[in-house]
C-alpha cells in the first residue's frame, strides 16, 4: 500500500452505563438511545468526508468511547459496509472496538466479530476487586477474566487496559497484579498511570494518585517486567509482541491522517504538506442533530500552522520507542526537523540522558519518557 494514501477512521460512541469517577473522556449516561438515528448520523458524516478523501486507503477503523460494546452489532456492521463502499480499504484493515467486561458476553462478542470487528480492546482497568471498587467499575476481576477468555477465542487480536499508580499501591502489589495480567494477555497490553483530571469526581473529592517517586518506581518496574515477558513497550503506555501493535494508534503517533466521526471526535487531513485539523461538537445531542440536519457535526476546521504541526508531530513521535524518523518527518512536512528545533536544546536534553539524536532518528530514552511533559516543554518553547 502507498503509505501516503493510508488513513484511519475513528468513530466515537459517547455513552456508558455509568460515569467512572476518574474519567474525563467524552462519555455520558442516557436512558434512551435511538440507535437508528445515531446510525444515520454516522453515515451522514462519513459521506461528508468521503467526497474529499475518496482516493485514500483505509487501513484502520476504531470504535472508541464511551463504551462501544453498547452499540448494536447491526449498527457497527452498517457503518463498516458504508466505509467499504465509500473508500478502498486495505485487505488487512484493522477494525478495533473497545469493550467493557460489564457489557460483554460471548454472544455479543460473536456478533461483533460477525459485524467485522477483528480486534477487541477490553477496558479491564484492574484484576484486583478492591481497586475495581475504588475505580467505580461495574465489573469484578472474575468478569474481566471471563471477558478476556471469551474475546481471545473469538477475535484474532485482543488487548486490555490496566491502570496503576493507584493510591496506596506498592511495587509488590502491582508486580503481583501485572504478573497475573501477563498470564492471560495475548499480544497487547495498555498500562496507564492514574492521573487525576479536572472535572472528574476524583478531582472534586481531592483524591491523590500515587506520589511522583512511587509513580516513577512503578513505571520502571513495569518496563522491566514487560520486557522480560516479551511484551516490550512500543509507546509510553502500550506494550506488544512484534506485529501486535495497535495500527490505529500508530497512525496518530506517526502523524498520519485520520477522520474523526461522532461527538467530540478529532481528525487530521493533509494535502501537499498542509494539515487541517477538524473537531466536532462534544455534546452528543448537539452533534447528533447537526449530523442529521447538516450532514456533519464539525465545530471547527482550521489549517495547522507550521509550528503547530511540528509541535504535534514531536509531541506524538516522542511517545514512541522508535522515536521520530527524520526522513518521515520531512516527507510529512517538507521540513528538516533538526533545522526547526533549537539544536542547543536537543544537545542539552541529550547530555542529561533524556533524548538521543543520530542521522536518522530523534528519540527519547526511558528517563526522557518518564518526564515527557518537561522534555517537550523545554524542547518546543
Ligand atoms: S467506561 Fe470508560 S469511557 Fe465510560 S465512564 Fe468509564 S472510563 Fe469513561
Are 243 and 335 members of one domain?
Answer: no
Distance 171 CA to ligand 1 centre (A): 26
| Digitized pLDDT (tens) for each residue of the chain, 381 residues in all | 667 799 999 999 999 999 999 999 999 999 999 999 999 999 999 999 999 999 999 999 999 999 999 999 999 999 999 999 999 999 999 999 999 997 668 999 999 999 999 999 999 999 999 999 999 999 999 999 999 999 999 999 999 999 999 998 999 999 999 999 999 999 999 999 999 999 999 999 999 988 888 999 999 999 999 999 999 999 999 999 999 999 999 999 999 999 999 999 999 999 999 999 999 999 999 999 999 999 999 999 999 999 999 999 999 999 999 999 999 999 999 999 999 999 999 999 999 999 999 999 999 999 999 999 999 999 998
Are 109 and 188 members of one domain?
Answer: yes
Distance 136 CA to ligand 1 centre (A): 10
Residue 363: what pLDDT? 97
- Residues in the ligand 1 pocket, defined by CB under 6 Å: 16, 19-20, 23, 25, 27, 65-67, 100, 123
Distance 28 CA to ligand 1 centre (A): 9
Work out which ligand 1 atom sits closest to the CA atom of 98.
2
Distance 70 CA to ligand 1 centre (A): 12
Q: Whose CA is nearest to atom 6 of ligand 1?
A: 20
Neighbours of 301 (CB within 10 A): 13
Among 320, 150, 318, 178, smallest CA distance to 245 is for 320
C-alpha cell at 198: 479536572
Work out which ligand 1 atom sits closest to the CA atom of 66.
3
Mutate to test the pocket of ligand 1, among 15, 30, 65 (most ligand atoms within 8 A of CB): 65
Q: Does the residue 264 lie in any domain?
A: no
Q: Residue 66 sits in a domain of what CATH number?
A: 3.20.20.70
Residue 103: what pLDDT? 65
Are 213 and 346 members of one domain?
Answer: no
Query: What's the order of all strands across the beta sheet hosting 266-271?
Result: 233-235, 238-240, 188-193, 157-164, 119-125, 88-99, 57-65, 6-13, 257-261, 266-271, 274-280, 298-303
Distance 174 CA to ligand 1 centre (A): 22
Taking CA 48 as the corner, what is the angle to CA 43 and CA 54, rounded to the nearest 5 degrees? 100
Work out which ligand 1 atom sits closest to the CA atom of 100.
1
Q: Phi then psi for 8, rounded to 5 degrees?
A: -110, 160
C-alpha cell at 48: 461528508
Distance 123 CA to ligand 1 centre (A): 8
Are 73 and 159 members of one domain?
Answer: yes
Distance of CA 376 to the CA centre of its chain: 20
Q: Does the residue 297 lie in any domain?
A: no
- Judge whether 250 and 237 are in contact, CB under 8 Å: no
Q: Does the residue 168 lie in any domain?
A: yes
Domain that holds residue 320: 306-381
- Structural domain ending residue among the three candidates 210, 226, 251: 251
DSSP class of residue 369? Answer: H
Q: Which residues lie closer than 8 Å to 359 by C-beta, 6 or more apart? A: 326
Q: Does the residue 277 lie in any domain?
A: no
Residue 2: what pLDDT? 67
Q: How crowded is the C-beta side of 275, counted as CA atoms within 13 Å?
A: 23
- Judge whether 191 and 241 are in contact, CB under 8 Å: no
Q: Whose CA is nearest to atom 7 of ligand 1?
A: 23
Are 197 and 329 members of one domain?
Answer: no
Are 41 and 190 members of one domain?
Answer: yes
Q: Does the residue 278 lie in any domain?
A: no
C-alpha cell at 154: 473469538
Are 131 and 201 members of one domain?
Answer: yes
- Judge whether 61 and 80 are in contact, CB under 8 Å: yes
Among 53, 69, 95, 371, smallest CA distance to 236 is for 371
C-alpha cell at 229: 515477558
- Structural domain ending residue among the three candidates 251, 275, 298: 251
Q: Residue 338 sits in a domain of what CATH number?
A: 1.10.10.920
Are 342 and 206 members of one domain?
Answer: no
Are 65 and 151 members of one domain?
Answer: yes
- Structural domain ending residue among the three candidates 251, 282, 315: 251
Q: Does the residue 378 lie in any domain?
A: yes
Q: Does the residue 22 lie in any domain?
A: yes
Are 220 and 334 members of one domain?
Answer: no
Kindly give the residue spans of alpha helices, DSSP state H, lying in the chain: 35-53, 73-86, 106-115, 129-134, 141-154, 171-184, 201-204, 212-228, 247-253, 284-293, 306-317, 326-333, 337-340, 343-351, 366-370, 372-380
Q: Does the residue 258 lie in any domain?
A: no
Mutate to test the pocket of ligand 1, among 123, 137, 160, 163 (most ligand atoms within 8 A of CB): 123
Domain count of the fold of the chain: 2
Are 350 and 207 members of one domain?
Answer: no
C-alpha cell at 228: 522480560
Are 74 and 191 members of one domain?
Answer: yes
Work out which ligand 1 atom sits closest to the CA atom of 137.
6
Amino acid at each position: 500500500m502507498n503509505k501516503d494514501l493510508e488513513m484511519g477512521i475513528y468513530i466515537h460512541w459517547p455513552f456508558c452505563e455509568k460515569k467512572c469517577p476518574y474519567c474525563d473522556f467524552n462519555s455520558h449516561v442516557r436512558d434512551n438511545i435511538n440507535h437508528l438515528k445515531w446510525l444515520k448520523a454516522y453515515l451522514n458524516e462519513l459521506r461528508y468526508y468521503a467526497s474529499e478523501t475518496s482516493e485514500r486507503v483505509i487501513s484502520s477503523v476504531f470504535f472508541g468511547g464511551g463504551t462501544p460494546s453498547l452499540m448494536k452489532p447491526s449498527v457497527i456492521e452498517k457503518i463498516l459496509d458504508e466505509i467499504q463502499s465509500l473508500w478502498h480499504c486495505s485487505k488487512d484493515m484493522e477494525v478495533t472496538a473497545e469493550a467493557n467486561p460489564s457489557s460483554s458476553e460471548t454472544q455479543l462478542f460473536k456478533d461483533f466479530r460477525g459485524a467485522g470487528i477483528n480486534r477487541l480492546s477490553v477496558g479491564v482497568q484492574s484484576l484486583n476487586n478492591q481497586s475495581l471498587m475504588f475505580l467505580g467499575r461495574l465489573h469484578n476481576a472474575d468478569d474481566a477474566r471471563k471477558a478476556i477468555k471469551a474475546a481471545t477465542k473469538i477475535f484474532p487480536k485482543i488487548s486490555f487496559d490496566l491502570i496503576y499508580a493507584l493510591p496506596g499501591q506498592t511495587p509488590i502489589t502491582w508486580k503481583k497484579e501485572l504478573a497475573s495480567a501477563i498470564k492471560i494477555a495475548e499480544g497487547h497490553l495498555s498500562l496507564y498511570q492514574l492521573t487525576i483530571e479536572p472535572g472528574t469526581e476524583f478531582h472534586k473529592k481531592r483524591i491523590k494518585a500515587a506520589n511522583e517517586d512511587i509513580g516513577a518506581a512503578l513505571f520502571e518496574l513495569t518496563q522491566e517486567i514487560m520486557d522480560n515477558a516479551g511484551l516490550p513497550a512500543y509507546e509510553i503506555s502500550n506494550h506488544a509482541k512484534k506485529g501486535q501493535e495497535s495500527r490505529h494508534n500508530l497512525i496518530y503517533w506517526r502523524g498520519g491522517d485520520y477522520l474523526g466521526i461522532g461527538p467530540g471526535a478529532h481528525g487530521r487531513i493533509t494535502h501537499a504538506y498542509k494539515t487541517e485539523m477538524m473537531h466536532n461538537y462534544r455534546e452528543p445531542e448537539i452533534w447528533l442533530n447537526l449530523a442529521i440536519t447538516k450532514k456533519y457535526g464539525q465545530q471547527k476546521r482550521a489549517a495547522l500552522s507550521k509550528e503547530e504541526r511540528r509541535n504535534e508531530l514531536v509531541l506524538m513521535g516522542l511517545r514512541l520507542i522508535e522515536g521520530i524518523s527524520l526522513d518521515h518527518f520531512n516527507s510529512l512536512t517538507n521540513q528538516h526537523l533538526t533545522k526547526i528545533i533549537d539544536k542547543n536544546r536537543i544537545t542539552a536534553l541529550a547530555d542529561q540522558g533524556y533524548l538521543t539524536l543520530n542521522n536518522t532518528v530523534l528519540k527519547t530514552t526511558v528517563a526522557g519518557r518518564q518526564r515527557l511533559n518537561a522534555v517537550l516543554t523545554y524542547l518546543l518553547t
